[in-house]
């Protein structure tokens, strides 16, 4: 293959030399391109073709695309999280109390960040308000949605989301008084949600 590449480079360089005409240049490029065409596979004499259909039918030593598609596995190939798996071997367990503790810690940190908003609004640092809401509120939304189990908790979560969205909108529009009221409302609604847990 290295020889073919070298010859094609030499042929293409020679094709663009000044003493070669257009026909010679195109002929040289075509000859160089022909070097890259795949050659026909040569079968050994007296040997029948080898094939395999998904590693199950045909020659067992010739797996399709280099894989046996689970036929050589001693256990089921389903993921423990698959709809076809039975869940054995899964690491995630929704009943683990550590997950809820982590989500509650996220809510504590979110409240600290929401308390910073009033200072940013007073100093008219509108980008800081938007950044603070975007920076950690993604985690907050996931934690709130994960902790909200009852209908009342889900309603409180929606109220909180609307409050932080109103804060962000007012900050983007640079309406200080509206942003200040919305920031205070977002803290109140987060407190209302956490008290319902």
Tens-place pLDDT, residues 47-90 = 766 666 665 666 655 544 455 555 555 566 667 777 777 777 77
Average pLDDT value for residue range 92-113: 87
pLDDT digits (tens, 9 = 90+) for 146-176: 899 899 999 999 999 999 999 999 999 999 8
Please report, for residues 15, 21, 29, 36, 37, the alpha-carbon distance to residue 1 in angstroms, rounded to integers and kept in the order given. Answer: 21, 28, 17, 9, 11
Of 72, 70, 69, 91, which Cα lies nearest the Cα of 80?
Answer: 91
Contact assessment for residue 183 and residue 117, using Cβ atoms and an 8 Å cutoff = yes
Q: Which of 28-32, 61-65, 87-91, 121-125 has the highest mean pLDDT?
A: 121-125
What count of Cα atoms within 13 Å lies in the side-chain half-sphere of residue 9? 6
Residue for token pair 């009852």 = 150
Q: Share the mean pLDDT of the chain.
A: 77
Percentage of the chain lying above the pLDDT 90 cut: 29
* pLDDT, position 35: 59
Which comes out higher in pLDDT, residue 29 or 153?
Answer: 153
Strands 57-58 and 52-53: antiparallel
> Would you place residue 5 in the very low, low, confident or very high pLDDT band (cuts 50, 70, 90)?
low
pTM of this prediction exceeds 0.85: no
* pLDDT, position 41: 53
Residue 40 has pLDDT above 80, yes or no: no
Q: How far is residue 58's CA from residue 154's CA, in Å, rounded to a whole number?
A: 57
* pLDDT, position 95: 79
Contact assessment for residue 144 and residue 193, using Cβ atoms and an 8 Å cutoff = yes
Q: Specify which residues 53 forms β-bridges with.
A: 57
Contact assessment for residue 103 and residue 147, using Cβ atoms and an 8 Å cutoff = yes
Q: How far is residue 57's CA from residue 173's CA, in Å, rounded to a whole number?
A: 67
* pLDDT, position 134: 86
* pLDDT, position 61: 57
Query: What does the DSSP assignment read for 92-112?
Result: --TT-HHHHHHHHHHHHHHHH
């Amino acid at each position: 293959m290295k020889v073919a590449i070298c010859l094609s480079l030499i042929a293409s360089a020679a094709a663009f030399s000044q003493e070669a005409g257009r026909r010679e240049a195109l002929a040289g490029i075509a000859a160089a391109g022909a070097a890259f065409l795949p050659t026909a596979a040569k079968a050994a004499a007296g040997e029948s073709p080898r094939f395999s259909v998904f590693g199950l039918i045909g020659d067992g030593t010739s797996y399709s695309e280099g894989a046996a598609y689970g036929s050589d596995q001693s256990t089921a190939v389903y993921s423990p999280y698959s709809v076809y798996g039975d869940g054995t071997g899964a690491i995630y367990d929704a009943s683990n109390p550590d997950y809820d503790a982590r989500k509650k810690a996220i809510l504590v940190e979110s409240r600290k960040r929401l308390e910073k908003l009033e200072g940013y609004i007073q100093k008219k640092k509108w980008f800081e308000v938007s950044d603070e809401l975007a920076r950690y509120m993604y985690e907050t939304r996931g934690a709130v949605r994960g902790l909200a189990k009852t209908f009342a908790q889900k309603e409180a979560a929606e109220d909180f989301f609307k409050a932080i969205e109103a804060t962000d909108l007012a900050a983007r529009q640079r309406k200080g008084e509206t942003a200040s009221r919305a920031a205070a409302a977002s803290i109140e609604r987060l407190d209302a949600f956490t008290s319902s847990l």
